[in-house]
Structure formats: structure tokens, C-alpha cells
Structure 1
Amino acid sequence: MLNQHRMSDSKEESLMILENMKKKKRHCDHQNEDRLTDLPDSVLLHILSFLKTKHVVQTCVLSKRWKNLWKRISTLMLHSTNFSTVKRFATFVSKVLNFRDTSTALNALDLYRHGDIEPHLLKKILNYVCSHNTHIQKLGISVNGDSGIIMSCVSSCHALTSLKLSLYPRGSNGSHTPILFPKSLNLPSLTSLNLTNFAFCGAESDCVEPFFAFTKLNSLGIRSCKVKDAQILSISSETLVNLAIEYPLEKMNLAIQTDYSSNFAEIKLSTPNLYTFSFTGDLIQKICRSGLSSVKQVNIDDSRQDDASVEHGLIIFNWLLDFANVESLTVTSTTLQILSLVPDLLDVKLPSLCNLKSLEVELTPLDEGYLSQTIKDAMLKKAAAKSDEEFFKLIKAFNARIELPPIPDGIVDFLRQNSPSAQVTYTTEFPHRFHLMEVEESDSAASPNLYG
């Protein structure tokens, strides 16, 4: 039996859940009946399917009823973070695959190994997946390993509805050498796809469309992916509802480019049913107009601070023009700072955001650096245009190292100029840097600040 006599600390999530349920039962039931154990196997297995496999296996010590139950689990969550050494993780995985009931269909497998995975262990796991390829519906693999055998295994799993891949070459030590995404991948039932560190290769045309074969795709996530030998990444889908993009989709041959604006791929969307759109990273992509017209929920987190410019602010502004039907908008304060670089922005009449119902601003720290200096330069230019007095007043404030306002003055009202009743909320993961109540009060009041 697999680690029957080895228990982890009582704080382990799975045992905490199970033991708490049993304690509550003993407290409430005078007949001392084990109501949890009396549940049908199907119910218990369903509960266990939400736990990591290490925790599932640990239930075998609870009683005779639980001794072999784990062997019939249909979901395997194999995460190396739950083990103190790589060797213990490898031993555990091997034993799970050896002792698991082979007559039980494997419906889902999630493999996570931060860093390199031993080739023999990876091959063993993939062979196991392939032996259940007619049943497995959900597959997640996040490793540094041989992408060739991984993609070969994936291509054999035609019943997949959900696929999540985060792949790096073995020995890459965190480098971002991209994995080539296959031009043809026959997964007719796929509804959810998440990719990290892939390169989408173009052909004869200047446009690459890597997802056209997934005719049932509902959710798509792209993280740290690149476009090679093409200018345009095309995402065309009648069924796509949720789209999330993280980090730039850069061209691979940046060194030979001379025009800065052509260094990055354009995103062409043909997604008439897209509902949720999220972008996180350095917002440098241009999106084909009308590509976001159906979207109702938007999340934009432009985290660039090193080289933000008016051009990047204009890209954000152009995105806003496409949000004709957006009802919920979430942006970071850094995104708003970059947007504020657009000259005379507050004088512009927006034709969009007419249906906005909620606006959430996530406050993020603005570090001393390129972006903060660019903002200061823009403020000084604006102050100088008003009067010398305003200019020198601002110089004095900067010399006193007064912090810039976390949100540019007037920009929240600018976003909701066509929906003045939209509810505004402020959140932050940095409570030591921001006082939300003060931000709300300063934003709602017409009090003077550094922006004049």
C-alpha cells in the first residue's frame, strides 16, 4: 500500500476536511454512525476528485472502507510542490500509477513540476495518459521537458474538452525559448485551451491563425506566447466567449526591425460572441477595430513602467473606442497613468462605454522610474502652459518628493462620461501603500492636487 503509515501534518487540506466532518458527526449523532463513510462510493469519489492526489491517497488510513477507495479516483492532480524532494515526488507518482485501478477510466490529469522533470518519469506519465486517451477529457501539463513527446501524447487524446499547457525546454532554467505550436491539432471536442510559452508560426501569408480547427472553443488563454514569421495573430471563432491574454505577443525577429510600431503583432479578432476579455502585461498590441464590440466584461492590466509612452497611451485609448457594449470594466491605476499621457485626453468625447455599469480600479504602486518621470514631464508641460506660477509650484512639489496621485485627476469621470451612474470601486493588493478611503474621498471631491 502507498504510504499508508505516513501522515502529513494535521493541517493538510484533505484530512482537515474529512476529519472535521467526522468530528462534527460524532458531536451531533448520539449513535456514533459514520455518516461520511456511509455515503455511496460515487459521492465520496466525487468529493475526492477536487483534492490533490497526495491528499486523496492519505485517506486510505482513515478506515478499512477508505483503504482502496483512492485507487478508483478518476482525477489525478500530481503537483511536485506538495513534496519536499523531487525524488519523493517521482516515487509517489510511480506508485500511484502502478497501484491505481486500471479498470477505472482516467477523466482528468493535471501534472505540475516547477522546473525540469526526469525524462523517464515524464514518459511514464504520458504513456499512462495515452493508455486512457479515449476517456481523458481534461489535461494539464506544466513542466520543463521534451515538448515533442508531450505534444504527441496530446494529439492522441481526441476526447479532450480542456487542455492547459505550460511548457519549457528541459534545462532552460526559466528562459523563454518558445515551443512551436503544431499547425494541425485534431481535438474536435476542445472547449477550453490555455497555453504558456508557445510560438505560433506563420506560413505564406502575413497572418497566423492557430485556433481555427477548434470549432467548439469557448475559453482561450494565451500567456507569454509569440508570433513567428507573421505580423498578425488572428483569432476567429463563432463559439469563443472568454479570451485572456498575458504578456506581449512579440515577433521573433525583432533584431531586423527598424520601425518600432511594427515590432509587435496585431491581434485580429473575429469573435462575435466574445463576452469577457482580459489583458495583462505590456499592452503593445493593436486590435483590429470592432473586434471587441460584443464584449461585456473587460479587465486591463498594463504593467509597463520602464518605457511607457504616449504611443502606449494611445493604444489603450483605441481599445476603449471598441468597448461599445461593455458593462463591467476593471483597470489598474498604472493603466490609467499610461492612458493619461495622451495629450488633451480629458477634452475628448468618448463614443463608447455608454452601457458601463461598474468600474473597478485596482491600485498598484507607481515606482520611481521612467513612467513616473514621463508623467511629471507631462504635468510640467501642462503647468507651464497655464502660468509660470503653476510651473514653479509644481517644481517645488516635485523637489519636496511629494508622491504622484495614484489616479490621474479627472480620468475616472472621463471613463464614465457616457455612464455617470456607473458604480466605481477601488481595490488593492498593497494596503500598506494605499488608503482606499482616502483615495475614494479625493476622487469624489473636487479638491486641487498635483494635476492642477
Structure 2
Amino acid sequence: MGSHSKLKVGGDGEDKISQLPDALLSHMLSFVETEQAVRTSILSTRWKNIWASVPSLFFVHCCCKERGSSNHAVFVSFVDRALHCRGLLDIQRFYLRYYCFSVDLSRIDGWIRNVIRRNVVELKLCVRVYEDTVEKIELPKTIFLCKTLVILKLNFNCFIYAPPESGCFPNLKVLHIRLDCPDKDFLEKLFTFFPLLEDLFIYGRLSSDISGTFKLFVPELKRLKIDFASNMSYEDPYEYYLSINAPKLEYLDLRVDFLRSIVFDNAKSLVKAVFSFSHRDAIELERYGYRATTLLAAVSNVQHLSLSVHSLAASCMPAFDNLIHLKLVIRDCHHWILLPMLLHRAPNLECLELEHNEVRFTFQNISRARVRRNRFTY
């Protein structure tokens, strides 16, 4: 499209979009990738510099060996120029999704430091290097100390977390972080950093030698999701214990293959809980059932519960007096015994979802049926 072309939107051929205020055009471009936003500069003189005032920068690059290194160099140069063209303007959101076979980590480090200096509010970094031989460097400490940062999402395999001893994440409210076999020292530090955090999602893989007690105290936390696979087995001598103190927690999503001891100091505000304990070998161990039922007892005041397990002792189920919505994923046929016990322990249940071998059933108005018949038939 040449620079003389117009965006003919109105029926009379008038370019009404270009007549919008700069601030509105800039806001519109903040919803597309930066590369697409830059391309609008060829539309007309009116559009030439609009993209440079967009408060969001969004870069995506997935490199493959067949395309060689030239494409990679073009992308790196483009990010450099885009940051330079913004001058000293603040950057509200910076999103980098970067998959490659080799990378100059110092260049990415420079990009991160650049946007931190621009008072970034939302930072999302997804950087995966395919070669295992890449030499990792420390993630800039400025991320941990940034006072403007509110939303942070980290997923990479080429940086090392090295947070300072204090003053971390002073205003952070949302943290999504991938951890690949983190060491004990980092976990102990990580769980003490969140004075204002409301949304925490931790996922990845734990190593088999993680042990000890980890205390997570997050006074303002409302949503917590933990999704961990591991190299562990129930025969391993190592044990980790997670103590969670989040008095304002409303939503909990816990997905682990090996269930370790998880204790809630205060879960009275919890409204919805999602549990998935997937390891089949667990059913052979008495402590698995004990840990699962202990955990369920700690959150028995929930109104919505999704439960996906291989085996639980039905007789040890706590009472769920507030439960109105239950989703039960049955992994094996003999685990149907859980259903009548859960129904018996949930007198106010209104909606029941059953899933077995990807077949789903939903039953509504269960409480009313109980009132009419004085019983529920399973």
C-alpha cells in the first residue's frame, strides 16, 4: 500500500480512521504486534509516527535452523530500533516471545533494563533457547526492585534467578513464573517477596533433591495456582513441606503428580478449589490418602470444588457444608465409590459434573431433588 493510499471507511470514501485523535490511534495499535504497528507508518503522513507513541511493545520471534541466522539478526535489529525510536517515552507493557537456537543474552538483558528504566507496568518474557550448551546469565536485579511493575510473567531457560535479599516486588500484584528445577535457597527467598501480590501462578518442574519446609505468606493473595511435575518418586528420601498463609485467598488450583505435605494456615475466604493429583503409584501409599484428605479438610468451606484423583479413602472425606458445585473426574472405574460419599458429605450441592474417559455428565438442581424425594439416587 503506497503512502498516498487512504483508509476508506465511510460510504463517501472519507478516511475517518485517520481523523481520530493520536491518543486513540495509539491505543488501537497497542493491541497488535509491534511489527504490525510499524507497518501502519506507510499508510500516510498522518500515520508515520503514530506507532512510536504506542504504550505497548509486543515482539514475537520463533527461529528455525532452516532459515539460518539472518532472520534472527533482522529481528534483533528491529527490537533495537523500535526501542530507540521511542526516545524517552514510558513503556507501559513489554511482551517478548523469543524462541531460538542461539542468542546473545546480553542483548536481551539490555532490552529488559531499557524497559525497566521506562517505568514498565506489565512485563512478559518468554525466552526459550533450544541449545543446552547456552551459558546462562543472571536476570537483572532491576526487575525485582522495579517500583512501577504490577504484572510480571516469566518463562525462560536461559536466565538464573538471583534476587536481592530485600525490597523485592514492592508493588507487584500478578506473578506468573516458570521454575525448572530451582534450588532450595531460591524457593525459600521467592516465597517471602510479595507484600501486595493478588495473583500467583507457579509452574514447571521440581528436582528430586528438594527438601525442607517452604513458607508462603502472601497477605493480599486472592488467586493461587501451582502446577508442578517432578522427577520424584514416593521412594525418594527427600520431602518438601509447603505452608501457605493467605487469609484473603479466594481461588486455589493445585496440580501435582506427587502430593507432598501442604498445609493451609488460613483458608476461610476460599470460594473455589481445583485439585488434580495424577500419579498412579500414589494409591499404594497410606500417606497419600492422609495428605489428600487433610488438604481437603483445610478447604472444606469452598462453594466450588473440582477434584481429579486416582484414589481417596471415601470414609475420610470431610463435610462440605457450603459446596454448591462439584466436578469429579473419575480416573478408574473402582473410584466411583467416591461419588456417593461426596454427595452424602455435601448436603447443599446444586450442580454435579462427572467426567470419565473424557465423557461428561452434568446434573442440576440436586438440592431440590433431595427436598422432593428426601434422597438422591446414584
Q: TM-score, normalised by structure 2?
A: 0.77
Distance 1:423 1:106, change over 3 A: same
Secondary structure, aligned partner of 1:184: coil
Note the 1:372-411 alignment, pairs <5 A. Answer: 405=333, 408-411=335-338
Tell me how far apart the structure 1 counterparts of residues 311 and 16 of structure 2 sit (CA, whole Å): 58
1:67 and 2:35 matched: no
Secondary structure, aligned partner of 1:338: coil
Tell me how far apart the structure 1 counterparts of residues 89 and 161 of structure 2 sit (CA, whole Å): 34
Say if 2:116 and 2:146, in contact at 8 Å, map to a contact too. yes
1:12-70: CA deviations, max 9, x gaps?
Answer: xxxxxxx9xx7xx84xx433333333322222222322323233333334444333322
1:167 and 2:147 matched: no
Partner of 1:418: 346
Secondary structure, aligned partner of 2:98: strand
Partner of 1:174: none
Tell me how far apart the structure 2 counterparts of residues 200 and 65 of structure 1 sit (CA, whole Å): 53
Tell me how far apart the structure 2 counterparts of residues 232 and 415 of structure 1 sit (CA, whole Å): 31
Partner of 1:53: 34
Say if 2:224 and 2:249, in contact at 8 Å, map to a contact too. yes
Task: Name the structure with the higher strand share.
Answer: 2
Secondary structure, aligned partner of 1:197: strand
Say if 1:264 and 1:284, in contact at 8 Å, map to a contact too. no
Distance 1:71 1:225, change over 3 A: same
Aligned length: 351
Displacement after TM superposition at 1:73 (Å) = 2.0
1:328-357: CA deviations, max 9, x gaps?
Answer: 11233xx2x333xx3xx2x44623x21112
Tell me how far apart the structure 2 counterparts of residues 422 and 261 of structure 1 sit (CA, whole Å): 42
Distance 1:316 1:117, change over 3 A: farther
Match of 1:338 among 311, 329, 340: 311
1:122-148: CA deviations, max 9, x gaps?
Answer: 323332332342411222222246653
1:191-230: CA deviations, max 9, x gaps?
Answer: 2222212525349xxx935232331111112112548775
Tell me how far apart the structure 2 counterparts of residues 261 and 149 of structure 1 sit (CA, whole Å): 31
Tell me how far apart the structure 2 counterparts of residues 141 and 282 of structure 1 sit (CA, whole Å): 27
Tell me how far apart the structure 2 counterparts of residues 146 and 166 of structure 1 sit (CA, whole Å): 17
Partner of 1:173: none
Partner of 1:148: 137
1:95 and 2:78 matched: yes
Say if 2:173 and 2:196, in contact at 8 Å, map to a contact too. yes
Secondary structure, aligned partner of 1:267: strand
Q: Quick check: 76-85 or 313-322, which moved more?
A: 76-85
Displacement after TM superposition at 1:321 (Å) = 0.6
Tell me how far apart the structure 1 counterparts of residues 347 and 63 of structure 2 sit (CA, whole Å): 48
- Work out the percentage of aligned pairs sharing the same amino acid: 19
- Aligned CA RMSD, in angstroms, stands at 3.7
Gaps of 5+ in 1: 6-18, 171-178, 367-403, 448-452
Say if 2:138 and 2:162, in contact at 8 Å, map to a contact too. no
Say if 1:249 and 1:264, in contact at 8 Å, map to a contact too. no
Displacement after TM superposition at 1:168 (Å) = 1.6
Tell me how far apart the structure 1 counterparts of residues 239 and 16 of structure 2 sit (CA, whole Å): 59
Say if 1:249 and 1:265, in contact at 8 Å, map to a contact too. no
Secondary structure, aligned partner of 1:233: strand
1:316 and 2:289 matched: no
Partner of 2:99: 114
1:125 and 2:108 matched: yes
Secondary structure, aligned partner of 2:17: coil
> Which residue identity does 1:275 align to in structure 2?
E
Partner of 2:174: 192
1:326 and 2:302 matched: yes
Partner of 1:400: none
Partner of 1:375: none
1:350 and 2:277 matched: no
Partner of 1:264: 239
Q: TM-score, normalised by structure 1?
A: 0.66
